[in-house]
Amino acid sequence: MEKIKPKIYKKKGPIVEVFLRLAKNKTAILGLIIVAILIIAALAAPFIFDYDDVIIKQNISNRLQSPSKDNWFGTDDLGRDIFARIVYGSRISLRVSFTAVAIALLIGGFLGAIGGYYGGMLDNIIMRFMDVFLAIPGTLFAITIAAALGNNIRNLIIALSISSIPGFARILRSSVITVRDVEFIEAARAIGANDARIILNHVIPNSLAPVIVHTTLNVATIILTIAGLSFLGLGIAPPAPEWGSMLSSGRTYLIGHSYITAFPGFAIMITILALNLLGDGLRDALDPRLK
Amino acid sequence: MWKYILKRLLYLIPVLFGVTLLVFLIMSVAPGDPAKVILGEQATPEAIEQLRVELGLDDPVLVQYMRYATGLLKGDMGMSYKSKDPVAVEIVARIPTTLKLTLSATLIAVLVAIPLGIFAAVKQNTLFDGLSMFIALLGISIPIFWLGLMLLVLFSQRLGWFPSSGAASWKSFILPGVALGFHSMASIARITRSSMLEVIRQDYIRTARSKGMPYRDVITKHALPNALIPTITVTGLQIGALMAGSVLTETVFSLPGIGRLIINSIQGRDIPVVLGCILVFTIGFSVVNLLVDLLYAYVDPRIKAQYT
């Protein structure tokens, strides 16, 4: 008699499961691919284009050229290739936004986690403090800080992360509160785990889903804010190829040379679109109940 | 109900003092001496020193703040460093422009978003649904200032339908309203659709349909009121975003509103005006949030019952 081989269902890890669910969502994958291309472009840009020679060197004889075979997106008022500047610009947008989000996640997450876990007085103080931050419309707050500190990349990162902290604090707090009193936390406490261990090993991993989604969407918001600030002349100053400031420099040439303004705008739009698609997809993949 | 409103308004007071203290501290660590910025590069050190004493800038920051806060309690927002006019006068003169801009953006957003969201949900997975959600996705991805510039190129410079700057007539607010409102429209449409989708699968909707009620009435009378709460929440949050966005929109369309004022004042280190503008935006935002909470009670009798 032939032996029946039992089929073994191997339980896949949570990350694999989430990814498999994400992979079924076509628009989310599209978003993921675009984000991946952007990251690769940002990493590869210095090897393709020379910063001093191509990105910022003025070439007046070649100024205001419409899009062509040599200059795919045309050239700006100082004769620089817009395509090269947009590709290089992804470095700035991604670096600044990732750094700012990471800082906001750490500080805001820490405040939210301890507030939600301990509750009481500490929670009250933290959240009243956050109320003050949340009372000012977000972008406006970033504008004020950036303008007050003066425009360089470091100050911009400070401004963006401060204005994102309350959002992260709130999200982490509310999800920590929902898992704080469940049985496995009590079990961990019963076997003598200390608070730091419980928070880091048990509470946070179980409240990550909303944080991941918020992080993705927050990167999108921050990239939009960077562009907005630079557009107002408060973000990253020229000649650095930042999308918002490139867009702003084309304002004088709107009639006849609107492509100078149009292409950086498309770059911002596609980036934000991709991050939003990915964020929505992650939300569905991380929490199938919501679907 | 009134007790609740009063409690909320009283809670606003410490928040506002927190906000002003925060902005005060930020502006005080900022590089750039206001006296120097006002008098320009050529000013003598004596003249700068004199102006610093005149404006009270030589006092410690907390003393300056206490002075500002006591003034604020008496309803005095201080004087502009630059124009020497009371801050309140400068701001009040600009409120109508910003209010008109925000209102037109909100109207455009809500009037387009809610029907779009409802139709997309009712006709889920059709071409209409896909198309409107694609537009909504574009909406949340387009930078406000870029959309504004593109609208300017097309409708004001190419076609000449609308003025490109100024706040002379109602026509001046159409393009800025669309540019500013498009983003909010997208967010509101998305949340309306998903909340409608949840509601139309409920048992009471099936009951309403099976008793022979016209589908139209089922949607407007049974489904819509139950789906509105998330829509109201998002709309309230969006109005905060609209206020911040008005800074960008007013810059693009050269509208003389509070957004323009705040940018000019920040650059000129005119601290009292910056504080005043942020205060006005914060009060506006908080009042909208309060209205949103009250609107919940109006839409949902269960919430109303909690207040009494």
Encode pLDDT of A64-76 as tens digits. 777 777 777 777 7
Name the 3-class secondary structure at B159: coil
Would you say residue B187 lies in a domain? yes
A17-290 under CATH 3.10.20.30, yes or no: no
pLDDT of amino acid B308: 59
pLDDT at A33: 93
B133 in contact with A at a CB cutoff of 8 Å?
Answer: no
CATH number of the CATH domain containing B165: 1.10.3720.10
pLDDT at B52 over 80: no
Cβ–Cβ under 8 Å, residues B68 and A186: no
Residues of A in contact with B240 (CB under 8 A): 137-138
Distance of alpha carbon B31 from alpha carbon B27, whole angstroms: 8
- Tell me what the mean pLDDT of segment A34-62 comes to: 82
- For residues B139-152, average pLDDT: 89
Which pLDDT does position B64 carry in this prediction?
Answer: 83
Q: How many CA atoms lie within 13 A of B133 on its CB side?
A: 22
**Can you tell me the distance from the alpha carbon of B188 to that of B201, in angstroms, rounded to the nearest whole number?**
20
A272 touches B: beta carbon within 8 Å: yes
The DSSP symbol for B223 reads: I
Residue B260: inside a domain = yes
**Could A258 and B150 be called an inter-chain contact, meaning their C-beta atoms sit closer than 8 Å?**
yes
Tokens of B258: 């509070």
Say if B144 is an interface residue toward chain A (CB within 8 Å).
yes
Tell how many helices (H) and how many strands (E) occur in chain B.
Answer: 14, 0
Q: Count the alpha carbons within 13 Å of A236 in the hemisphere toward its beta carbon.
A: 24
- What is the average per-residue pLDDT within B201-230? 87
Q: What is the DSSP string of chain A?
A: -PPPPPPP-PPPPHHHHHHHHHHT-HHHHHHHHHHHHHHHHHHHHHHHS-IIIIIS---GGGTTPPS-SSSTT-B-TTS-BHHHHHHHHHHHHHHHHHHHHHHHHHHHHHHHHHHHHH-HHHHHHHHHHHHHHHHS-HHHHHHHHHHHH-SSHHHHHHHHHHHHHHHHHHHHHHHHHHHHTSHHHHHHHHTT--HHHIIIIIITGGGHHHHHHHHHHHHHHHHHHHHHHHHTTSSSPTTS--HHHHHHHTGGGTTT-THHHHHHHHHHHHHHHHHHHHHHHHHHHH-GGG-
The pLDDT score that the predictor gives to residue A12 is 67
Number of Cβ atoms within 10 Å of the Cβ of B74: 6
Q: pLDDT-based confidence at A6, cuts 50/70/90? A: low
Alpha carbon distances (Å) from A255 to B91, B248, B253:
34, 20, 15
CB proximity A134 to B under 8 Å: no
In the predicted structure, residue A190 carries a pLDDT above the cut 50: yes
Question: Does the beta carbon of B292 lie under 8 angstroms from any beta carbon of chain A?
Answer: no
Range of the domain at B204: 87-307
pTM of the model: 0.84
Q: What is the pLDDT at residue B302?
A: 75
CB atoms within 10 A of CB A203: 24
How does residue B185 score in pLDDT terms, banded at 50, 70 and 90? Answer: very high
Q: State the complex-level ipTM.
A: 0.81
- A139 at the B interface (CB within 8 A)? yes
Rg, Å, chain A Cα set: 23
State pLDDT tens for residues B72-87. Answer: 888 787 788 777 788 8
pLDDT at B259 over 80: yes
For residue B75, being part of any structural domain is answered with no
Asked if B285 lies within 8 A of A132 by C-beta distance, the reply is no
Residue A100 has pLDDT above 90, yes or no: yes
CA B25 vs CA A89, A103, A243, B105, B266: distances in Å: 33, 21, 31, 33, 14
CB contact under 8 A, A269 and B18: no
Q: What is the pLDDT of residue A291?
A: 43
The yes-or-no verdict on residue B121 having pLDDT over 70 is yes
Contact in structure between B110 and B242 (CB atoms under 8 Å): no
Which has more pLDDT, A54 or B214? B214
Q: Is it the case that residue A32 has pLDDT exceeding 80?
A: yes
- Choosing among A38, A132, A253, A289, which should be mutated to test the B contact, i.e. which has the most B CBs within 10 A? A132
Instruction: Determine which helix (DSSP H) or strand (DSSP E) holds B87, and give its type and residue range.
Output: helix B87-122
In tens, the pLDDT along A129-179 reads: 888 888 887 788 888 888 777 777 888 898 899 889 998 998 888 888 888
**A30 at B interface, C-beta within 8 A:** no
Contact A104, A170 (CB under 8 A): no
Decide if A237 touches B, using CB distance below 8 A.
Answer: no
The reply to whether B233 touches chain A by the CB within 8 Å rule is no
Interface contact B290, partner A, CB < 8 A: no
d(CA B10, CA B19): 15
CA atoms within 13 Å, Cβ hemisphere of B231: 31
Contact B18 A148 (CB under 8 A): no
A235 residue type, one letter: G
Could you say which of A137, A261, A270 has the minimum Cβ distance to residue B281? A137
Subunit contact B141:A276, Cβ cutoff 8 A: yes
Chain B contact set for A148 (CB, 8 A): 26-27, 29-30, 266
DSSP label at residue B124:
T
What are the domain boundaries of chain A?
17-290
DSSP SS3 for B78: coil
Of the candidate ranges A79-88, A247-256, B123-132, B227-236, the one whose mean pLDDT is the lowest: A247-256
Q: Distance (Å, rounded) from C-alpha B58 to C-alpha B50?
A: 10
Interface test with A, best of B21, B149, B261 (most A CBs within 10 A): B149
**Six token digits for residue A134:** 């949340």
Q: What is the mean pLDDT of residues B116-128?
A: 89
Q: What is the mean pLDDT of chain B?
A: 84
Q: How far is A131 from chain B (nearest CA, A)?
A: 7
Nearest CA in chain A to B251: A232
In this structure, of A50-54, A243-247, A272-276, B184-188, the range with the lowest mean pLDDT score is: A50-54
Residue in B closest to A271 by C-alpha: B141
CB proximity list for B227: less than 8 A, separation 6 or greater: B192, B195, B196, B198, B199
Best to test chain A binding among B146, B264, B282 (most A CBs inside 10 Å): B146
Least confident of A101-105, B66-70, B93-97, B207-211: B66-70
- Pairwise CA distance, residues A267 & A89, whole Å: 9
- Measure CB to CB from residue B248 to each of A131, A232, A254 and give the nearest one: A232
Given B32, B263, B286, which is nearest A135 (Cβ)? B286
> How far is Cα A274 from Cα A278, in angstroms, rounded to an integer?
6
Give, as one character, the DSSP assignment of residue B137. Answer: H
pLDDT at A97: 93
Q: Does A74 touch chain B (CB under 8 A)?
A: no
Averaged over A20-37, what is the pLDDT? 88
Does A4 contact B at CB distance below 8 Å?
no
Q: Is A208 on the interface with B (CB under 8 A)?
A: no
CA distance A49 to A122: 51
What pLDDT shows up at residue A1? 57
Rounded to whole angstroms, the Cα distance separating A47 from A191 reads 54
State how far residue B232 is from chain A, nearest Cα, in angstroms.
Answer: 17
Instruction: With a cut of 90, say whether residue B170 has pLDDT above it.
Output: no
pLDDT at A61 over 90: no
From the list B18, B142, B285, the residue facing A137 with the nearest CB is B285
Is the omega angle on the peptide bond into residue B272 within 30 degrees of 0, that is, cis?
no
Which of B 3-32 lie inside 8 A of A, CB atoms? 15-16, 18-19, 22-23, 26-27, 29-32
Confidence of residue B32 (pLDDT cuts 50, 70, 90): low
Number of structural domains (chain B) is 1
- Is the per-residue pLDDT at B210 higher than 60? yes
- Is residue B11 within a helix (H) or strand (E), and if so which, with residue range? helix B2-29
Q: With contact defined as beta carbons under 8 Å apart, do A194 and A268 qualify?
A: no
